[in-house]
């Protein structure tokens, strides 16, 4: 049996390349393996059969690159959802459209069993919660593409933290990554809440009102996403600082954990993971047991799309449990929205967000 997949949105993450990660001469011209389409192409038992986009030129470029027949290239997602029977639908449109496209797909005649939505899950917490509610009501599995969750190394690290007490109770975490918050910090914050299995309790944020993506992406939509950061107190008392003010060319994605049993340093851009065990009051550097090398964008990120697609097949087969459900994705989103609210209100913001704060929308590409 081969499952049928469709994609809404034919831009970078769908299969045509991402600014800052691929050669600019390739973007929009060649198919890129580290993508939703690339994951489908590399996985047995599933086939990309249809695509939709409002831009007919982009649609044809994508369709030609990935060998989608012209009759299955739909201008507008509604046409694809009315015409196709699909087992899984990828939502690869800009994040401010995730809410509409996910809900439309879940309620459609296409009747998907799984929706594979790009990160961040949505532009507001309320929108994310509506997506989750509709998917629950239609018996649709909502899986969010926070790529780090689909890498073996991070899964191994999770087990070391939770079953081997690698760090013990964690006191503090400091994180750094590139601007902007919604577009990029979602990676570092989802990694944080995944590894520690925590949720924010309160958030204090600061914005610097810079956005590298606006000019480089040449978008015609007003975006409110900004560089910024702040601090977060988690529901277990862990204190977290977040700095996402750094220009892309200067940045490295880093997380440093300090706990009762040791400390851990992760640098995912430079491929450096280091661990120190606290022994008789001294930190002694040790190898991370069972983990071969450090996480890298070139190897682990690229492979994550195949791993994620294999996981999608497992969800469709009923043999796996969702590794990145919508409810987990809300945990990073509410921190990010909290930063914006805190900055503009001049106050610390409690999580869960009280109404109507959950409706606060941050637009990003």
Tens digit of each residue's pLDDT (9 = 90 or more) over 153-176: 999 999 999 999 999 999 999 999
Inform me whether the pLDDT recorded for 137 exceeds 80: yes
Class of CATH domain 149-296+334-345: alpha beta
Note the pLDDT tens digit of each residue in 39-53.
999 999 999 999 999
Closest to 150 (Cα-Cα) out of 9, 314, 330, 20: 314
Distance (Å, whole) CA 166 – CA 16: 39
CB distance 98 to 117 below 8 Å: yes
Which pTM does this prediction carry?
0.94
200-207 vs 228-234, strand pairing mode = antiparallel
Over residues 83-104, the mean pLDDT reads 97
Distance (Å, whole) CA 16 – CA 33: 9
Find where tokens 């009051």 sit.
281
Distance (Å, whole) CA 225 – CA 301: 24
Closest to 55 (Cα-Cα) out of 36, 77, 70: 77
pLDDT at residue 213, as a whole number: 73
Tell me whether residue 169 is exposed, middle or buried, using C-beta atoms within 10 angstroms of its C-beta: 0 to 12, 13 to 18, 19 or more.
Answer: exposed
**H-helix or E-strand spanning residue 105:** helix 98-107
Domain ranges of the chain: 3-147+301-325, 149-296+334-345
pLDDT at residue 48, as a whole number: 98
Distance (Å, whole) CA 112 – CA 130: 17
Which residues, other chains included, contact 333 with Cβ-Cβ below 8 Å and sequence gap of 6+?
A: 120, 121, 122, 125, 128, 186
Find where tokens 């196709």 sit.
84
Tell me which of 101-105, 213-217, 286-290 is least confident.
Answer: 213-217
Note the pLDDT tens digit of each residue in 225-254.
999 999 999 999 999 999 999 998 899 999
User: What number of other Cβ atoms are within 10 A of residue 289's Cβ?
Assistant: 10
Fold of the 3-147+301-325 domain: Rossmann fold (3.40.50)
88-91 vs 3-8, strand pairing mode = parallel
Distance (Å, whole) CA 17 – CA 41: 15
Beta strands of 147-280 (E only): which ranges? 170-178, 200-207, 228-234, 239-246, 254-259, 262-267, 272-279
Over residues 330-340, the mean pLDDT reads 98
Inform me whether the pLDDT recorded for 22 exceeds 50: no
User: How does the average pLDDT of the chain come out, rounded?
Assistant: 93
């Amino acid at each position: 049996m081969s499952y049928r997949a469709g994609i809404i949105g034919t831009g970078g993450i769908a299969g045509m390349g991402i600014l800052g990660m691929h050669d600019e001469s390739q973007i929009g011209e060649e198919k890129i393996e580290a993508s939703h389409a690339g994951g489908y192409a590399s996985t047995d038992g599933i086939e990309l059969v249809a695509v939709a986009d409002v831009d007919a030129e982009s649609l044809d470029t994508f369709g030609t690159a990935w060998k989608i027949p012209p009759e299955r290239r739909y201008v507008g997602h509604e046409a694809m959802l009315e015409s196709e029977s699909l087992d899984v639908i990828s939502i690869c449109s800009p994040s401010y459209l995730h809410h509409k496209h996910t809900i439309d797909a879940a309620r459609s005649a296409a009747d998907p069993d799984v929706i594979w939505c790009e990160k961040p899950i949505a532009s507001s917490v309320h929108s994310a919660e509506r997506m989750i509610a509709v998917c629950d009501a239609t018996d649709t599995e909502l899986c969010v593409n926070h790529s780090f969750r689909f890498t073996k190394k991070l899964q191994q690290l999770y087990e070391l933290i939770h079953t081997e007490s690698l760090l013990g109770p964690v006191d503090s975490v400091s994180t750094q990554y590139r601007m902007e918050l919604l577009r990029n910090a979602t990676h570092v914050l989802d990694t944080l809440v995944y590894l520690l299995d925590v949720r924010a309790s309160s958030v204090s944020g600061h914005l610097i009102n810079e956005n590298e993506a606006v000019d480089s992406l040449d978008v015609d939509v007003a975006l409110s996403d900004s560089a910024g950061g702040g601090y977060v107190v988690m529901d277990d008392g862990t204190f977290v600082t977040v700095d996402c003010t750094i220009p892309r060319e200067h940045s490295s994605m880093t997380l440093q954990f300090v706990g009762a049993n040791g400390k851990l340093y992760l640098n995912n851009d430079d491929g450096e993971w280091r661990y120190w065990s606290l022994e008789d009051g001294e930190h002694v550097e040790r190898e991370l047991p069972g983990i071969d090398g450090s996480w890298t964008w070139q190897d682990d990120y690229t492979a994550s799309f195949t791993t994620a697609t294999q996981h999608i097949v497992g969800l469709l087969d009923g043999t796996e449990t969702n590794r990145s459900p919508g409810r987990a994705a809300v945990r990073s989103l509410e921190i990010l929205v909290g930063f914006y609210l805190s900055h503009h209100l001049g106050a610390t913001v409690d999580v869960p967000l009280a109404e109507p704060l959950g409706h606060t929308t941050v637009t990003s590409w």
